[in-house]
C-alpha cells in the first residue's frame, strides 16, 4: 500500500489506482472560506478507516466533498482508481461510492420497502432485495412500516441497508451513532462490521472514538481542516498527536466538548 502523508508532509502524496478511495492534496470550503487544506487520505479496498477530530474540524466537509456535494478548490479524488474530482454525485455513486449522511438520509414518509426500491439501481433484482432483508432481518419484518415511525436504530439500519443495496465498493459513514442509545449503537456497529466483512471499504466519522477505533484498520486525525495519518488504531493511544487533535487520549472518555464521552455515557438527543 502506498503511503499517503498528512498535510505538511514534505513529499507529495502518491496516487495509486488500486485504492477504494484516494484523496490527494484536496482543498475545499464554503465560498471564500477554506475549510479543508491539502488533505491526503487513502482507503484500501475492504479497509475500514476512521476519521476523527473535534467539532468543526471539517469531517463532514471532507465526506461531502468526497461524495460530490461540495466542489473542491484544488486536489484530486479517485474512487476505485477513477478520477471523479469533477464528477457529479450520481456519477460517483456509479463508480461505487455511497454516502450515509448525518441524519441518515432516508425518506421518513415512505415505507421501508419504498425507501429500498427508490435507492435501488435498475439492475437490482428481487434476489438482491432478499439479500438485503437477510442481512437486516428487522427490515423484512417492517417492510410496510413508514420509516419515520421506526426507532432511531431501525432507521439507521435502513440507511445502511439502502447504502449496501447498490453493492458499493466504498461507503462514507457520517456519525451513525448520532442520537442512539448505547445498546443500539452496538447493533449498528455490528452491522457496519458485517458490511466491511463483505469487502466494502468504509470511511467512518464517529463521535464515539473508542467504537471507531475498535472497527478501524487505520486512523486519520483532522484538525482545522488538516489531516494526518496515524495508521494502526493501536497507535492512537500512544501518540501525542491524538491528544493534540482530539484534546484527549484514546483511552480517556471525553473530548473537550464532552460529546465524545465514553460509550457508556448518556445518548445524545434523539433524532425522532
Ligand atoms: P461536527 O463534528 O461538529 O459535525 P465536523 O468536523 O463535521 O464537525 P464540518 O461540519 O465539516 O465539521 O464543519 C467544518 C467547518 O465548516 C465549521 O467551521 C463549520 O462551521 C463550517 N461549515 C460547515 N458547513 C458550512 C456551510 N454550509 N457554510 C459555511 N460554513 C460551513
Q: How far is the CA of 61 from the centre of ligand 1 (A)?
A: 6
Mean pLDDT confidence for 88-96: 91
As a whole number of angstroms, the distance between CA 219 and CA 229 comes to: 6
> pLDDT grade, residue 271 (50/70/90)?
very low
Mean pLDDT confidence for 36-65: 95
- Residue with CA nearest ligand 1 atom 21: 56
Measure the CA angle with vertex 144, ends 139 and 148; round to 5°.
75
66 Cβ below 6 A of ligand 1: no
Domains of the chain: residue spans and CATH = 21-106+169-246 (3.40.50.300)
Pull the grid cell for residue 252.
480517556
pLDDT in tens, 6-31: 333 334 445 544 799 999 999 999 99
**Integer-rounded Cα radius of gyration of the chain:** 18
Pocket residue to mutate for ligand 1, from 53, 55, 61, most atoms within 8 A of Cβ:
61
Q: How far is the CA of 184 from the centre of ligand 1 (A)?
A: 26
Mean residue pLDDT across the chain: 83
60 Cβ below 6 A of ligand 1: yes
End-to-end CA distance of the chain: 42
pLDDT in tens, 134-192: 888 889 999 999 999 999 889 999 999 998 888 899 999 999 888 888 888 988 998 89
Report the predicted TM-score, pTM, of the whole model to 2 decimal places: 0.83
User: Which carries the bigger pLDDT value, residue 237 or residue 213?
Assistant: 213
218-223/82-83 β-pairing: unpaired
Instruction: Please choose, from the candidates 11, 1, 12, the residue with its C-alpha nearest in 3D space to the C-alpha of residue 42.
Output: 1
Amino acid at each position: 500500500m502506498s503511503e499517503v502523508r498528512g498535510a505538511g508532509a514534505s513529499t507529495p502524496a502518491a496516487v495509486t489506482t488500486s485504492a477504494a478511495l484516494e484523496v490527494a492534496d484536496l482543498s475545499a470550503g464554503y465560498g471564500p472560506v477554506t475549510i479543508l487544506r491539502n488533505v491526503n487520505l487513502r482507503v484500501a479496498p475492504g479497509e475500514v478507516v476512521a476519521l476523527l477530530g473535534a467539532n468543526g474540524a471539517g469531517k463532514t466537509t471532507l465526506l461531502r466533498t468526497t461524495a460530490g456535494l461540495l466542489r473542491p478548490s484544488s486536489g484530486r479524488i479517485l474512487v476505485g482508481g477513477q478520477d471523479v474530482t469533477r464528477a457529479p454525485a450520481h456519477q460517483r455513486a456509479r463508480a461505487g461510492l455511497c454516502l450515509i449522511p448525518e441524519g441518515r438520509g432516508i425518506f421518513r414518509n415512505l415505507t421501508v420497502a419504498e425507501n429500498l426500491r427508490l435507492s435501488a439501481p435498475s439492475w437490482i433484482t428481487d434476489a438482491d432485495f432478499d439479500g438485503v432483508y437477510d442481512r437486516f432481518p428487522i427490515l423484512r419484518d417492517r417492510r410496510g412500516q413508514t420509516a419515520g415511525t421506526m426507532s432511531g436504530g431501525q432507521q439507521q439500519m435502513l440507511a445502511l441497508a439502502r447504502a449496501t443495496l447498490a453493492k458499493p465498493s466504498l461507503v462514507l459513514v457520517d456519525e451513525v451513532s448520532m442520537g442512539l442509545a448505547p445498546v443500539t449503537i452496538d447493533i449498528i456497529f455490528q452491522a457496519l462490521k458485517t458490511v466491511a466483512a463483505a469487502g466494502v471499504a468504509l470511511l467512518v466519522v464517529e463521535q464515539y472514538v473508542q467504537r471507531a477505533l475498535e472497527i478501524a484498520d487505520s486512523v486519520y486525525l483532522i484538525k482545522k481542516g488538516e489531516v494526518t495519518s496515524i495508521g494502526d488504531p493501536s497507535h492512537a493511544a500512544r501518540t501525542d498527536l491524538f491528544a493534540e487533535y482530539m484534546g484527549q487520549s484514546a483511552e480517556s472518555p471525553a473530548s473537550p466538548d464532552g460529546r465524545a464521552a465514553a460509550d457508556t455515557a448518556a445518548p445524545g438527543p434523539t433524532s425522532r
